[in-house]
Amino acid sequence: MKRVIQRDKPKQKIIENLVMSFFRDNPKVEKAVISLKEDRMNRTQRQNALYWMWVKIIADESGYTRDAMHDILRDKFLGYRTVKTKDKVIEVLRSTTGLNVEDMKDYLTEIDMFATEFGMMLPRPEDLYYESMGFKRKE
């Protein structure tokens, strides 16, 4: 269960409802843990659009499918996370979906440098690139 709380808004009802809902949905559970973390904005739609544009271009240039290139880039720059199942522990490629804006910017920068090493100049459409990389446009 997840809820967003804000510093300047009432929290008591949100926390009470969260706890009551959890125990109602999990009647055999006697204890639970509440954890708070900073609400960080995930990657933007423009970052996502730029990413998939670049993945397709690199894939086409190198002879891979788009999905294969997506996996290759994640393997090279994001690595793996450990998932424990009932029977074993497995390593799974990290997803781009959970990257926050800053992490996605770093990931895009790595991909841009990677492509440059192979002589590819990736397009930088103004409407996608500047916002994706955190630059302010000159007006």
- 9-49 pLDDT per residue, tens: 888 888 898 899 999 999 999 999 988 877 666 788 889 99
- Rounded distance between C-alpha atoms, residue 136 and residue 138, angstroms: 6
Query: pLDDT, tens digit, for every residue of 48-87?
Result: 999 999 999 999 999 999 999 999 999 999 999 999 999 9
Residue 107 lies in a domain: yes
Beta-carbon count within 10 A of 83 CB:
10
Are 38 and 100 a contacting pair, CB within 8 Å? no
Residue 72 lies in a domain: yes
Asked if residue 52 and residue 32 are part of one domain, the reply reads: no
Beta-carbon count within 10 A of 123 CB:
10
pLDDT of residue 105 exceeding 60: yes
The pLDDT assigned to 135 comes to 76
Residue 123 lies in a domain: yes
The pLDDT assigned to 73 comes to 98
pLDDT of residue 109 exceeding 80: yes
Residue 139 lies in a domain: no
Cα 75 to chain centroid, rounded: 14
Which of 97, 90, 57, 53 has its CA nearest to residue 74? 97
Residue 137 lies in a domain: no
Asked if residue 57 and residue 112 are part of one domain, the reply reads: yes
- The whole domain housing 83 covers 45-132
